[in-house]
Amino acid sequence: MRYCASPYSFQRRKTREILIGDPQNGGIIIGGDHPVVMQSMLTCDTMDTAECVRQTLELVAVGCQLVRITAPTVKDAANLQNIVRELRAQNCLVPIVADIHFKPEAAMEAVKWVEVVRVNPGNYADKKKFAVKEYTDEEYAAELKRIEEAFTPLVLEAKRLKRALRIGTNHGSLSDRIMNRYGDTPLGMVESALEFARICRRHAFHNFKFSMKSSNPKVMIECYRLLVARLEQEGPDWNYPLHLGVTEAGEGEDGRIKSAIGIGSLLCDGLGDTIRVSLTEDSPREIAVCRDLLAQIASLTAKSLNGELVNSASHLTIQPFNHSTFPFDPFHFERRETPEIELADGVKCGGEQIIRVVVTRAVWDKVAHRIRPKDDVKPEAVHEDLNVAEIDPTQDFDINCETQLVTVKDGVKLPALTAFRLLVAKLKRLGRNNPILLKDCLHFERVPLEPKLALLRASVVIGSLLADGIGDAILIRGEAGGGQSLRLAYNILQAAGCRSFKTDYVACPSCGRTLFNLQTVTARIKARTEHLKGVKIAIMGCIVNGPGEMADADFGYVGGAPGKINLYVGKQAIKFNIPEAEAVDRLVDLIKEHNKWVEPDVKETVAAH
C-alpha cells in the first residue's frame, strides 16, 4: 500500500472534482488542480439567525471560503433556510455546510437549504453505548443493511438537489459495531467511512469528500494515510477529495502547533483539498492561521531552493514502496530504533531516552541565567559543543559507527522534511541506525520569520518527522527569540506526544451545540490545573464532542445541559448535572480522588500572577 507519490518529492494527490453549489453563482470546486479551500465554523446558536449571519459575514471578510453551521435538531436545520436567505439577500454567496450528528431527520431537512451536509458515520445511525459484543458475519451484515436504510434517503436527496456530502469520522466517535470489530483505531475510522461511501456509490452519487479527524496529530496522520492507501486499493475512481483537520486542537500556541503538525505533514505529502484549523478562539483567527500555514507549506514543498531537482532524491522517488526502501512505516507509528549515546554531560539520547532539546550557543547565553534546577523547560545540550556529523544526503556518504550523532548539513538544496527523510533512507540502505538531530531549517533567511510563521514552519518540519518516528534530539533556529525558541521546542515535543512537561488540554472550538462559554471556561480550568504535568484534560462543549472524541484524556469536563456539567474519568461519566459555578472545583476534587493532583509550586504561583 502507498499513500503518496513519494515521501521525497512533493506531488499533490490527484482527486476527482466535487461541486459545492453552483460555481457560476458563488459555489466552489474542490479537488483536482484547484487550490486548497479554507473553512471555519460558527460558534453561536443556530436559532439566532442574526448572529449566524453576522459571524458568517465576519468569516467571509477574512477569506473563509466554506462556512459550517451545526444543526443538532430538525428545528435548527429548518432555520438554515432563514440564515441562507438573509446571507444571499446581503449578496454573500459563500457555501454553507450543515453539521449533523445523531439525527438523520435533521440531515434530511438541512439538505434542502445548504450546499453541503456533513455526517459522522459513528453516530448518524448509531448511538454509542460502549457495549462489548461479538458480531457474527450475519449480524454484521444486518447492521450494514440497517445503516444503508438510514443513510440512503439523504444520498438520494443530495443527488436530486445537486448537494455535496462530507463523510467525516472522528477518533473515539465510532459506532459500537466498528469498535468491536476494529477497535478505536485508524483502520476502524477508515472502514466506517468506506461503509458510507459504498452506499453513496451504489446510488451513483460521487459528490462527496472524506475527513478523518483526531485531537492526536499522530493518529490523525495515520488515519488519512491509511484512507488514501485504501482508496487506491479500491480503484482509480475512488479518488475522492479530503478535508483535513486536527479536532479539538485547543487554543494559543498549542492549538496552532497541533494543527500544523497534523495538517502540515499531510499537505507536504500532497494530501488535502480543504482544511480547518480548529481553535478554541474566535473563528476568524482560524482563517488567519490557515492562510499562514498554506503559505509555509508552499515554501516547504519546493523541490529545492532554486527549483532544480536533486538527482539523488529523484532517484529514490521511483523506487518501489516497500519496507526496505521506505524511510518509516507510514501506517503504524513506531519510533526509529537507534543506539543510546551520550549527548552532553549527564544527558543521553537515542534508544529509549526521551527526545532531547538542543539549543545554539546564542540561545544558551540568553536563557542559561534564568534556568532553575527544577525547571522542566531547559536546554539539554548546546549545538556548537556536540560531536555531530553534518551530512549532505544528496551525496554518497559513509558512517563507520552507529553511535555517531548525525544531522543534515546546512545549505542542502532540499526542503528540510525531504532532506531528513532522505537521510534516514540512506542510513537504512547502509544498515545504520545512527541517532538523528532534527533541525527546523537548513537555510537562514536574511529577514527572520515572524514568530507566528516560525512557529508553524518548525511545527510542520519537526512535528512531521517526529510523527514519522524520526528524531532523537531537536534544534530550532528559525525562531529568533531565545526563550521563545526553547519553549517552542518543548511545545512541539508535547504536541507530537514525545514528551510531557505540562498539562495537556483537549478543547473543542465551540459551535451552536456548546452549552457553556468554552474560551472562558478553558481559561478558568487552565488557571487551576496548568501545573499538572502529564495529566490530559478534555474540555467539551457538548456530548457530541464528549466521551468518544476525548478518547485518550484522563479527565473530561463536558456540557450536559444548559448550566450543567458532567465530569468524566476517561470515557466513563462519574458525576452528572453539576452546576457550572461549582464544576471547576468538582473537577479538581475528581483529579485529587484519582491521585493525579499535586499542589502548585508557591514561587510559580506568585510569578504567574
Q: How far is CA 29 from CA 164, 228, 238, 274, 357, in A?
A: 11, 20, 17, 11, 44
Q: Which of residues 244 and 504 earns the better pLDDT score?
A: 244
Dig out the grid coordinates for 114 from the structure: 445548504
Q: How far is CA 244 from CA 100, 306, 307, 377, 512, in A?
A: 18, 30, 27, 31, 21
Count of alpha carbons within 13 angstroms of residue 191, beta-carbon side: 15
The mean per-residue pLDDT over the stretch 572-597 comes to 93
Displacement of CA 305 from its chain's centroid (Å): 28
**For 255, left (φ over 0), alpha (ψ -120 to 50), or beta?**
alpha
Confidence grade of residue 153 (pLDDT, cut at 50, 70, 90): very high
Confidence grade of residue 311 (pLDDT, cut at 50, 70, 90): very low
Lowest model confidence (mean pLDDT) among 129-138, 409-418, 588-597: 129-138
> Can you give the pLDDT at residue 132?
66
Confidence grade of residue 322 (pLDDT, cut at 50, 70, 90): low
Provide CB contacts within 8 A for 533, sequence distance 6+. 376, 500, 501, 502, 503
The mean per-residue pLDDT over the stretch 5-30 comes to 92
Packing angle, helices 252-268 and 451-467, rounded to 10: 60
Task: Determine the Cα–Cα distance for residues 442 and 440; give it in Å rounded to an integer.
Answer: 7
* DSSP-assigned beta bridge partners for residue 540: 558
> Can you give the pLDDT at residue 547?
55
CATH class, domain 22-300, is alpha beta
- 3-state percent helix, strand, coil for the chain, nearest multiple of 5: 40, 15, 45
Beta strands in 34-129 (DSSP E): 37-41, 66-70, 96-100, 116-119
Question: 62: which DSSP letter?
Answer: T
- What DSSP assignment string belongs to 532-549? -TT-EEEEESSSTTSTTT
> Can you give the pLDDT at residue 506?
82
pLDDT by residue (tens digit) across 103-149?
Answer: 999 999 999 999 999 999 988 887 656 566 788 889 889 999 999 99
- What DSSP assignment string belongs to 257-277? HHHHHHHHHHHHTT--SEE--
Confidence grade of residue 553 (pLDDT, cut at 50, 70, 90): confident
Largest CA distance in the chain: 72
On whether the CB atoms of residues 246 and 213 are closer than 8 A, the answer is yes
The mean per-residue pLDDT over the stretch 417-421 comes to 95
* DSSP-assigned beta bridge partners for residue 538: 506, 556
pLDDT by residue (tens digit) across 48-68?
Answer: 999 999 999 999 999 999 999
The mean per-residue pLDDT over the stretch 400-406 comes to 94
Task: Determine the Cα–Cα distance for residues 379 and 345; give it in Å rounded to an integer.
Answer: 12
On whether the CB atoms of residues 192 and 175 are closer than 8 A, the answer is yes
On whether the CB atoms of residues 128 and 175 are closer than 8 A, the answer is yes
Task: Determine the Cα–Cα distance for residues 270 and 263; give it in Å rounded to an integer.
Answer: 11
- Mean pLDDT taken over the chain: 90
- Look at residue 603 and tell me whether its pLDDT is greater than 60: no
For residue 277, how many other CB atoms are within 10 A of its CB?
Answer: 29
Burial class (CB in 10 A: 0-12, 13-18, 19+), 136: exposed
- Look at residue 512 and tell me whether its pLDDT is greater than 50: yes
The mean per-residue pLDDT over the stretch 480-494 comes to 94
HEC secondary structure over 136-165: CHHHHHHHHHHHHHHHHHHHHHHHHHCCEE
- Look at residue 306 and tell me whether its pLDDT is greater than 50: no
On whether the CB atoms of residues 335 and 355 are closer than 8 A, the answer is no
Dig out the grid coordinates for 136 from the structure: 457474527
> Can you give the pLDDT at residue 175?
85
pLDDT above 70 coverage of the chain, percent:
92
> Can you give the pLDDT at residue 564?
92
Confidence grade of residue 549 (pLDDT, cut at 50, 70, 90): low
Domain boundaries, the chain: 22-300, 327-495, 504-608
Of 443, 569, 548, 434, give the one whose Cα is nearest residue 169. 548
What H or E segment, with its residue span, contains residue 211? strand 208-213
How is domain 504-608 classified at the CATH fold level?
A: Sulfite Reductase Hemoprotein; domain 1 (3.30.413)
Confidence grade of residue 304 (pLDDT, cut at 50, 70, 90): very low
pLDDT by residue (tens digit) across 154-203?
Answer: 999 999 999 999 999 988 788 888 988 898 899 999 999 999 999 999 99
pLDDT by residue (tens digit) across 223-247?
Answer: 999 999 999 999 999 999 999 999 8
Of 255, 239, 151, give the one whose Cα is nearest residue 202. 151
Task: Determine the Cα–Cα distance for residues 242 and 228; give it in Å rounded to an integer.
Answer: 9
> Can you give the pLDDT at residue 480?
87
